[in-house]
Structure 1
Amino acid sequence: MKYTPYEYQQFCEDFLLDKPAAGLLLDMGLGKTVITLTTVARWMYDRFEINKVLVVAPLRVAEDTWIKESAKWDHLQDLRVVRVLGSEAQRIRALQTDADIYCINRENIPWLVKYYGAAWPFDGMVLDELSSFKNPSSKRFKAMRKVRPLIKHIVGLTGTPSPNGLIDLWAQIYLLDQGDRLGRTLTEYRNRYFNPGRRNGYVVYDWVPKPGAENEIYSKISDICVSMKACDYIKLPERVDVVHTVKLDDESQAAYTEMEKEAVLELDPGEVVDAGTAAVVSNKLLQISNGAVYDGDGKVHPIHHAKLDALDDVIEAINGRPVLVFYSFQHDLERIMRRFPQAKKLEGSAEIDAWNRGEIPMLLAHPAGAGHGLNLQAGGNHIVWFGLTWSLELYQQANARIYRQGAKGERVTITHLVAKGTIDEEVMRSLAGKATKQDALLEAVKARVKKYREGHNA
């Protein structure tokens, strides 16, 4: 296929070309991959500035997206792309293959850095999803930090650079410029631009930007980062969001209420609810809302079939057209597959290709596994959220697998199955209000703790 870049794509290519480090903070669907591949090809074959490029990406993106995108366009046919995936022996064989671009999943970056040691061979790098390196304490960040001085050209790609606030930017920008703009350490960055927010003793739960800090931070990184919103540059299909309220029967609602009360009252009366304990409580309540719950031994206890019935209703209403269903827990997946034998779990390239050919009527995916880089818009225009997520980043990225340029049909419908009287309602409010995951989760659980403690002590 002949590649004729849009004006904004040409701008991005020119922006990247002369920079040793740059970030493309582009919305989903703007073509980050083809922009980057085109720039890499020019670096390698027009300017002879780099020899080997490493692409670090989420697993399914490393497996599928970069090879398919390079094969799709006429001007990229000469690029040799290999996957560095699978067992250690398979990864080593792939690294021994003569190629231009090597795609590895981000979990294996620490292994790769250790494998090569001082003989690091990659002088070009693409971090495709840059925001997955936002935690400076993670093994993947520390491994990348070791080899960063050996990289001649590096590109960071993401549509969600600060899902939990500006504090997330430091580690990502450090991997681009090694601390030149936002400071050499996270402590330096915090002290300069933030004040401590909520805290318990010496433990700070969040950091609040100082007056004027946001504009100063954006100004600091503006010379190496370009940001674009899809709605400003491309025509997106109409999007229809539907909340399908699921009503539990009296027995199931009573069971939910009892389990909710038990979960929040497990906390010691004097305990401060932090993100860790809130996540445990929230996880249990979300499971019950979906229809089942794990006990301490990992055994599944079914509670209701209300969401399965609701999913059945949605499928009937769309007259058998293909539907992409996002689930949260393994027991969700198992129960959906028992109820709907036609459903297929998204495992890899085979399911992606079959879905886009219209051969899978119901594709089941976890948002964490299908939230970045996959192109699923050719297979259908209906999404159902069977289980909801607190993460605005995952929610937006997952929806963008279909809600993007080239979507099948003129309208994309996103249906949310929301169990009435449960924590599902809190999740929907947080997503609508664009709250960060941690803030929304803490507030939801604190409200429940207060509600049941007051009733318990009355």
Structure 2
Amino acid sequence: MTVKATLHDYQAQAVRFALHTLPVYGGCGLFLDMGLGKTLTTIAILDIIHRLHPEQRFLIVAPKTVAVNTWPAELAKWEHTLDWAVAAGEKPDAKQRETALAAQATVTIINQDNLGWLDTTLTEWPWDGIVLDELSGYKNANSKRFRILRRRKQDRTRPERGRGKGQPTGWILGLTGTPAAKGLIDLWPQCALLDDTHRLGRTITAYRSTYFTPGRHHGHVVYEWKPRPDAFTRIMGTISPYCLTMLAKDQLPDLPQVIMQDHHVTMPAGTRQAYRRFCKDKYEELTDTHVTAVNAGVLTGKLSQFTAGCLYPDMDAPNRTPIRYDQAKMSVVNRIIAEAQGNPVLVFYQYKDELARLRETYGTDVHTPDEPDIVRRWDAGEIPILAAHPLSARYGLNLQHAGHIIIWMSLPWSVEDWQQANARLNRQGQTRPVQIHRIIEPDTIDERKLAVLEQRAMLQDAVMAELKHAAE
């Protein structure tokens, strides 16, 4: 049974902004904070366009979980004129995807990983508009998905519909709450898909030369680009005509507060000794295997494993079973879960060994997001502990109706993973203060992770606030 959609005032504002911007720039960015209803807002936009132009069709590209579950569920809730087909899945589902394309639905939904398949399957794309759910997934200008979409948008022609030959048709609507998760350099690829007027420059090379200077480099190879002193203000002013930002704290003032609780736990002496030795030697000889760090990236990964109380052997080692050093962080997890007094707990882990420890301690009380009907069971109070890797819970897993406690066994490096994961509970519909527990071992790489998250979050907040200010 469907019901008539009722938009909040801020969602109606976003709809008006998009409808005005899409035909002017050939795209629009809705940088809406997590929990503000980007999906419903987009459905309203598509519905209005379709009512005005019934012949037009749309493609929605989303992360797999969102494509398979969230979009069909939201479309089914509301009364509108749109029909849809889901062309998402892995290789064994190729026939299902082909059937969905053959349906010629008004809205076709596909997951990001199948863009390559779609590109080779259809010589000509029939869609007048493309929605990119989680636009931040296209921040790499060298990625295959970016190149496909840019070429398809530039090359599509519809002379039979009265448009000039060679003129790009359609538009791209980009949705994200984290447009600059790692820095301002991420913005060009995303905006290049939205803006036919090339306000940020036609190439990423032009963008870099205009707004950045080379930082860390070796010869002609630049590893890091540093923004010029005025880059932030100039970039924000340049993209504000076609990018709209909304913050949850402004639009949902009654959203319960977030209580951040840091638990500092001392790394046990034996683990600390091994940690320091590995920092120095970048090698650890174990009973029947070994661990080496061939570069800085591997070293940081191995040091993070030490803080989780384990260490994974090298890929070519005869025994790949992780070595366990201690249970320091697990003891804190146990205490937090006990203090939850039966309230459901969402636990984020980084390593499979952390999930294994949870299961060894709590048995069948531990569940994972890949289980069937997990959201309904969570809402019904049937899931005492939901253990998830941030990548498996970033999108489409809305758990705010039954839980308010989050535990991070190990912190991520990515502020996007951090913010998106926390937004599974901290979103519209939450009625209790959200507790976020971070377990940190001082004087280890944990403190570096925390600093990186805070720095990137500050930039992210600055981008969102500046675009919001420019729109007022």
TM-score computed with the length of structure 2 as normaliser: 0.84
Partner letter of residue 10 of structure 1? A
Matched ranges for 1:100-115 at <5 A: 100-115=106-121
Matched ranges for 1:279-428 at <5 A: 279-296=297-314, 297=317, 298-341=320-363, 342-347=365-370, 350-407=373-430, 409-428=431-450
**What SS does structure 2 have at the residue aligned with 1:241?**
strand
Give yes or no for contact 2:112–2:145 (8 Å, CA) kept in 1: yes
Q: CA RMSD in A?
A: 2.3
Whether 1:24 and 2:47 are equivalent positions in the alignment is no
Give yes or no for contact 2:310–2:324 (8 Å, CA) kept in 1: yes
Worse-matched range after superposition: 320-329 or 416-425: 416-425
Give yes or no for contact 1:81–1:102 (8 Å, CA) kept in 2: yes
Q: 1:13 aligns with which of 6, 12, 15?
A: 15
Give yes or no for contact 2:119–2:148 (8 Å, CA) kept in 1: yes
Whether 1:99 and 2:105 are equivalent positions in the alignment is yes
Shift of 1:325: 0.8
Report the equivalent of 1:171: 189
Partner letter of residue 35 of structure 2? G
Whether 1:215 and 2:211 are equivalent positions in the alignment is no
Q: Structure 1: any 5+ residue segments left out of the alignment?
A: 267-275, 438-458
Whether 1:249 and 2:268 are equivalent positions in the alignment is yes
Give yes or no for contact 1:125–1:154 (8 Å, CA) kept in 2: yes
Worse-matched range after superposition: 162-171 or 147-156: 147-156
Shift of 1:83: 4.4
Shift of 1:194: 1.5
CA displacement 1:217-248 (0-9 Å, x = unmatched): 22222221111111111122111001122233
Q: Which runs of 4+ in 1 moved over 4 A?
A: none
**Distance in 2 (alpha carbons) for counterparts of 1:83 and 1:360:** 30
Shift of 1:91: 2.4
* Aligned CA distance change for structure 1 residues 171 and 160 (closer, same or farther; 3 Å): same
Report the equivalent of 2:163: none
**Distance in 2 (alpha carbons) for counterparts of 1:344 and 1:262:** 39
Whether 1:201 and 2:219 are equivalent positions in the alignment is yes
Worse-matched range after superposition: 245-254 or 374-383: 245-254
**What SS does structure 2 have at the residue aligned with 1:30?**
coil
**Distance in 2 (alpha carbons) for counterparts of 1:430 and 1:294:** 24
Worse-matched range after superposition: 336-345 or 130-139: 336-345
**Distance in 1 (alpha carbons) for counterparts of 2:283 and 2:457:** 22
**What SS does structure 2 have at the residue aligned with 1:121?**
coil
* Aligned CA distance change for structure 1 residues 373 and 182 (closer, same or farther; 3 Å): farther
**Distance in 2 (alpha carbons) for counterparts of 1:436 and 1:201:** 31
**Distance in 2 (alpha carbons) for counterparts of 1:129 and 1:414:** 24
**Distance in 2 (alpha carbons) for counterparts of 1:388 and 1:158:** 22
Give yes or no for contact 2:345–2:385 (8 Å, CA) kept in 1: yes
Report the equivalent of 2:466: none
Report the equivalent of 2:71: 66
* Aligned CA distance change for structure 1 residues 329 and 346 (closer, same or farther; 3 Å): same
* Aligned CA distance change for structure 1 residues 326 and 110 (closer, same or farther; 3 Å): same
Shift of 1:66: 0.9
Shift of 1:37: 0.6
**Distance in 2 (alpha carbons) for counterparts of 1:329 and 1:77:** 45
**Distance in 2 (alpha carbons) for counterparts of 1:414 and 1:301:** 28
Report the equivalent of 2:151: 146
Report the equivalent of 1:449: none
Partner letter of residue 192 of structure 1? T
* Aligned CA distance change for structure 1 residues 59 and 348 (closer, same or farther; 3 Å): farther
Matched ranges for 1:184-199 at <5 A: 184-199=202-217
Give yes or no for contact 1:133–1:171 (8 Å, CA) kept in 2: yes
* Aligned CA distance change for structure 1 residues 425 and 69 (closer, same or farther; 3 Å): same
Give yes or no for contact 1:237–1:405 (8 Å, CA) kept in 2: no
**Distance in 2 (alpha carbons) for counterparts of 1:349 and 1:58:** 18
**What SS does structure 2 have at the residue aligned with 1:240?**
strand
**Distance in 1 (alpha carbons) for counterparts of 2:402 and 2:81:** 25
CA displacement 1:66-106 (0-9 Å, x = unmatched): 11212223x24854342422323332233333533222221
* Aligned CA distance change for structure 1 residues 182 and 91 (closer, same or farther; 3 Å): same
Report the equivalent of 1:455: none
CA displacement 1:310-338 (0-9 Å, x = unmatched): 21111101112101111112222223222
**What SS does structure 2 have at the residue aligned with 1:388?**
coil
Report the equivalent of 2:177: 159
Report the equivalent of 2:161: none
CA displacement 1:371-422 (0-9 Å, x = unmatched): 2343221230111101210111211111111111111x32100001112442
**Distance in 2 (alpha carbons) for counterparts of 1:46 and 1:331:** 54
* Aligned CA distance change for structure 1 residues 142 and 26 (closer, same or farther; 3 Å): same
**Distance in 1 (alpha carbons) for counterparts of 2:50 and 2:457:** 42
**Distance in 1 (alpha carbons) for counterparts of 2:414 and 2:326:** 25
Q: Structure 2: any 5+ residue segments left out of the alignment?
A: 157-168, 286-293, 460-472
Shift of 1:115: 1.3
Partner letter of residue 141 of structure 1? F
User: How many equivalent residue pairs?
Assistant: 424
Shift of 1:131: 0.9
Partner letter of residue 212 of structure 2? F
Report the equivalent of 2:86: 82
CA displacement 1:99-145 (0-9 Å, x = unmatched): 332222212211211111x2222222110110110100111111212
**Distance in 2 (alpha carbons) for counterparts of 1:96 and 1:126:** 20
Report the equivalent of 1:447: none
Give yes or no for contact 2:60–2:108 (8 Å, CA) kept in 1: yes
Partner letter of residue 211 of structure 1? P
